[in-house]
Every structure is written in C-alpha cells, then in structure tokens.
Amino acid sequence: MKTKQCPLPYNPKDLIQLAHGGGGKLTHELISTMFYPAFSNPILNEQHDGAIFDCKEGRMAYTTDSFVVDPIFFNGGDIGDLAVNGTVNDLTCCGATPLFLTAAFIIEEGFPMSDLQRIVESMKKASQKAGVAIVTGDTKVVDKGKCDKIFINTSGIGIIDPNIHIHSDRIEEGDSIIISGKIGQHGICILSTRESLGFETDVASDTASLNHMIQSLSESVPIHFMRDPTRGGLSSTLNEIADSASVRIELDEESLPIGESVLSACELLGLDPLYIANEGLMLIFVPKKHAEKTVELLKQFPEGKDACIIGKVTAKNTDGAVLLNTLYGGQRIIEMLRGEQLPRIC
C-alpha cells in the first residue's frame, strides 16, 4: 500500500516572481545574493545608480546588443556567455579594448532561480575570460507569457588605441580576407536543438570572446577592417562591407572552412552555410603581404585554430559586390540573406 506523502512544499525562492523586479525586498535580495557576488568589482561594488569611472583622453567605442536566443542553454554555451561575448566582440570590431559592460535582464515570471544562477555564473566566467567588468545593470520581471524565459541586454564601452584605425574606408584593392574559424557552427547548433527538427549533431556553438586574440594580432599586423559575421552569416556581413566600402570581394569556394557536420546538416535541411549565424568568428581585412602572418598568429589561439584566407578585394570605388569563385572555375554572385532561412520541403 502506498503511504500518503506530503508534496514538496512550494518554495517561491526557487522561481522568479514579479516582486524580484519590483524594486523592493526581493529585488534587493536577488541583487545582493546573486549579481553582486558574481560580478563583484570596485565600480559595481559602489552600488550607485550608475557606474562611475575615470576616462582618458582619446577615442572610445560604445555598443549595445540584446540577446533573445532560444534555447537559452545549448551545446557550447548559453544566453549568458553569448551576451558577454557578443558585446565584447562588437567592441573588438571597432578596434577597441573592451573595458566595461552593463547587463540588463528581462525575466519571465516563474523562471527557475537555478537557471538564472547558471546564466549569471557563465556571464561571470565569460567576462573574466575577456577581462571586462560588468559595472552596472538592471532587472525587470514581466508577467508569465509576456517574454520567453529570459532576455538579456548588454552594453559595452572600450578604449581605442590611438594607433588603431578600423574603418571600411581603409579597405584597399588587393587586401586579403581572413576568417578566424569554421563557419555556421552556432546557427546549426541552435537549429539542431529545436525539437521539431528531430536531428542530432555534435556541432557546438562557437561563442567566444575574441578580444585577446585580435589585440595580439593588431600589435603585429595593420588590420584595415574587421567585423564579426553573426546573424545573416558570412554572406550578409560581406555584402554589408562591400556596400559600405564600395569594393568588390571575391571568395574562393574551395577555401571556405566548413565543418563536416555543418555541411551535412545544411545539405539535409536545405540551408546554405554562408548564411548561417556565427558567434565567435572574425572577418579580417589585411594587406596581402600580411595575410600569411595573420593566419599564423590567429592559429596560436584556440579560437583561431581554423583560421584561413578565404578571398580578396579585387576592386575599389565600384558597385559593392560579393562573388564566389566556384570549385569548377565558374563565378556566381553571393547575395545578402533575404528574410529568414527556412527549412525547405525538398
């Protein structure tokens, strides 16, 4: 005979409640027991309404990004490290050394506290790895159903070395184009976790902060331009660059680094890896004579171990265009992504 048991008592502390964002006691508890200990640094610990810090003369870079990824936990990372790495990499693209981040959370009522703890821990690790401090933040809780689990916004400030000038105007005819790793990893990883697709893959997200690698590179190589090819993939980013710099870009299909699992998943789902999102890649434009050295230097970092030259700038002061030299000697246009890439029937 079954013995009657009391159900486990409902513990409101296990779940995020509206009051955690209400500015009262629960908000204070959440901040002081979770956020302050994890992100502790002298500026944050002042517990001011905003972050107060000294600034030097010169140029700074300032950026913001919001993260709404679903699922929030995936192979290779989670929404937390994505939020830190994304903003760090955006600053890095500007040629800046990232210094400070803000973190704002919009959380759905009923979100498990343990998941929030896990996300905050990974933000802590990612910010430590990137060498940035999370100096101020905000927490809001919305009614159940008003947002999907958790959204995070991070803003970042970085300082730009006076000798570094990263601008699309600096791209020159003959520049080599280098990618720091294999393409399509993040997008395929996220797609594969959507249960409706019903396929499994070992592909892990490439999410990573690239600032240390790029900083080291910029000490030895005059980088003309760089950008991280995130949403819309390599094709969309290259088209943006070609347009804004009025340059013609040629890629060599043979040299594109695509992992076998990503290639197989793309063939299966009818997707083009050139349009799949990345989160830990940098596209770098350097003078041709520095191309080999750039690849060599990138390869010294784990995030750059698959770095390679994928193409070149073949003309300047022209209509922006991205062309692909196919495996068989033909050439075709590479367009910007139209709408979302949707799985096809065949």
Partner 1 sequence: MNEYNCFRDRDLVDALAQRIRQRISRKWVIMEMCGGQTNAIARFRLEDLLPQDLELVHGPGCPVCVTPQTIIDQAIELAQEPDVIFASFGDMVRVPGVNDSLLSVRSKGADVRIVYSPLDAVRLAKENPDKQIVFFAIGFETTLPVYALALKNAIHANLNNFSLLTSLVTVPAAVASLMEDPENRVQGLLAAGHVCAVTGLEEYEKLAHCYHLPICVTGFEPADILWGIYNCVDQLEKGENSVRNNYSRIVNPQGNIKALEACNLYFEPIDQEWRGMGIISQSGLKIRKEYEHYDAFVRYKITQKRSCYTEICLAGDIMKGKIQPTDCPLFGQKCTPDQPLGASMVSSEGACAAYYKYKRNENKAMSITL
Region near partner 1 per CB under 8 A, out of 4-12, 127-135, 221-229, 330-338 = 330-338
Q: What is the closest distance, in whole angstroms, from the C-beta atom of residue 169 to partner 1 in the complex?
A: 21
- 31 belongs to the binding site for partner 1 (CB under 8 A): no
- Site string (246-265) toward partner 1, x via CB under 8 A: --x-----------x--xx-
Q: What is the closest distance, in whole angstroms, from the C-beta atom of residue 194 to partner 1 in the complex?
A: 9
Region near partner 1 per CB under 8 A, out of 104-112, 165-173, 193-201, 209-217 = 193-201
- 327 belongs to the binding site for partner 1 (CB under 8 A): yes
Strand 150-160 and strand 133-142: pairing? unpaired
Verify cis geometry, omega within 30 degrees of 0, for the bond prior to 229.
Answer: no
SS3 state at 73:
strand
Give the binding-site size for partner 1 (rule: CB under 8 A): 30
Kindly state the tokens that stand for 22: 């209400």
- 197 belongs to the binding site for partner 1 (CB under 8 A): yes
- 193 belongs to the binding site for partner 1 (CB under 8 A): no
Q: Which is nearer to partner 1, 9 or 329 (CB)?
A: 329
Give the dihedral sign, CA 77/79/83/84. negative
How does DSSP classify residue 266?
Answer: H
Can you tell me the distance from the alpha carbon of 345 to that of 97, in angstroms, rounded to the nearest whole number?
A: 46
- 10 belongs to the binding site for partner 1 (CB under 8 A): no
Choosing from 314, 316, 320, 336, the residue that interacts with partner 1 (CB under 8 A) is: 314
Choosing from 198, 200, 202, 317, the residue that interacts with partner 1 (CB under 8 A) is: 198
- 326 belongs to the binding site for partner 1 (CB under 8 A): yes
What is the DSSP code string of 170-230?
A: G--TT-EEEESS-SSHHHHHHHHHSGGG-------------HHHHHHHHHHS---EEE---
Choosing from 148, 267, 292, 296, the residue that interacts with partner 1 (CB under 8 A) is: 267
Can you tell me the distance from the alpha carbon of 240 to that of 230, in angstroms, rounded to the nearest whole number?
A: 12
- 6 belongs to the binding site for partner 1 (CB under 8 A): no
- 321 belongs to the binding site for partner 1 (CB under 8 A): yes
Q: What is the closest distance, in whole angstroms, from the C-beta atom of residue 312 to partner 1 in the complex?
A: 13
Can you tell me the distance from the alpha carbon of 338 to that of 323, in angstroms, rounded to the nearest whole number?
A: 17
What is the DSSP code string of 118-175?
A: HHHHHHHHHHHHHT-EEEEEEEEEE-TTSSSSEEEEEEEEEEE-TT----GGG--TT-
Q: Which residues bind partner 1 (CB under 8 A)?
A: 196-198, 248, 260, 263-264, 267, 269, 314-315, 319, 321, 323, 326-333, 335, 338-339, 342-346
